[in-house]
Amino acid sequence: MADQVQPAPAPATGSDDASFTDNTGKGRGSFPKRGEPVITGINRVGLWSLYIKEVRRFLKVQTQTIWAPAVTTLLFLVIFTVALGREGREVLGVNFATFVAPGLIVMGMMQNAFANSSFSLLSGKIQGTIIDLLMPPLSTGELMTGIVAAAVTRALAVGCAVALAMMFYPGVDLSLAHPWAVAWFGLMGAVMLALMGLLASIWAEKFDHNAAVTNFVIAPLSLLSGTFYVIDNLAPLFQMISRFNPFFYVISGFRFGFLGQSDIGDTNAAVIQSAVGLGVVNLVFAFVVYRILASGWKIRS
């Protein structure tokens, strides 16, 4: 009588940590328990993927996102130099074109950092694709970091494009007096506006809301921050108001990096205090945005 072949026992099911084998019969591992995270620490691959996605998004339309802002900022320089820089006018000991150029560079950086981060979540909410950002295994901090880092990257690209164009403009001298100030205040300004843009995209429900923030908050704070003048020329009341504008410290500190002078204060210590103050403001602002993003306000239904 032929031997009967006994079927192999079926693997146990229903166990959260059941082991599994390959075709050789040797075990290769086990499933993690239900609810136990597989990725621990920072999800570097996911964070990098989000960053690259955001960078590629604005690079695909770089004519609009990088070169157009550079041309617009250069037009500001041409118009204001022709209108206010005639007859060898000097401000802070340099000609008017050299004075106004650093402020225009960092103003372009800040505005484009806001534009980039404010589009990320808002476009997802309107197009119904925000699930693509919320479902991947990214923590709130990783999601915020990826979006802000991409916005800062766009700001740096715009700043470099504007500076390159201004180097060929007659009368503009972009020699560096304090490179640390250029790097720090440029970075702090870009991070501040990137966080502000992320907060605006969380709050906004349509593109009109985002445009309202740009037109009624960002543009006035940028243009009334001492980009085209020193606040010493203002009345005492308006000088005090200007000193409550964080954009003023970004622009004046960035200009200090090129000229070695600013209207923040009479000493370099005042500039250093402003640098530290901007760092603290950004840390507090980042914590507030993090808490709002983590709460799911106007994002998760």
Q: Domain range spanning residue 203?
A: 42-295
> Is 19 inside any structural domain?
no
Would residue 31 count as lying in a domain?
Answer: no
Contact in structure between 254 and 185 (CB atoms under 8 Å): yes
What is the structure's pLDDT at 227? 87
Look at residues 223, 252, 259, 255 and name the one whose alpha carbon lies nearest to residue 111.
223
Domain count, the chain: 1
* Residue at 198 is within a domain: yes
Q: What is the predicted pLDDT for the residue at 30?
A: 67
- Specify if 111 maps to a domain: yes
Q: Is residue 252 domain-resident?
A: yes
Residue 252 contacts residue 224 (beta carbons within 8 Å): no
Q: What is the pLDDT of residues 2-46, one digit of tens each?
A: 455 455 555 544 444 444 444 444 445 566 677 566 667 788 999
DSSP letter assigned to residue 5: P
pTM reported for the whole predicted model:
0.84
Q: Which residues pair with 94 in a beta bridge?
A: 91
Kindly report the average pLDDT of the chain as a whole number: 86
Confidence grade of residue 125 (pLDDT, cut at 50, 70, 90): confident
Q: Is residue 37 part of a domain?
A: no
Of the given ranges (10-19, 83-92, 200-209, 257-266), which has the lowest mean pLDDT?
10-19
Backbone angles phi, psi at 135, to 5 degrees: -80, -35
**Does some domain include residue 285?**
yes
**13 belongs to a structural domain:** no
Residue 58 pLDDT > 80: yes
Residues 6+ apart with CB under 8 A from 238: 231
List beta partners, residue 21: 27
For residues 187 and 182, give the distance between their C-alpha atoms in angstroms, rounded to a whole number: 8
The pLDDT of residue 41 is 79
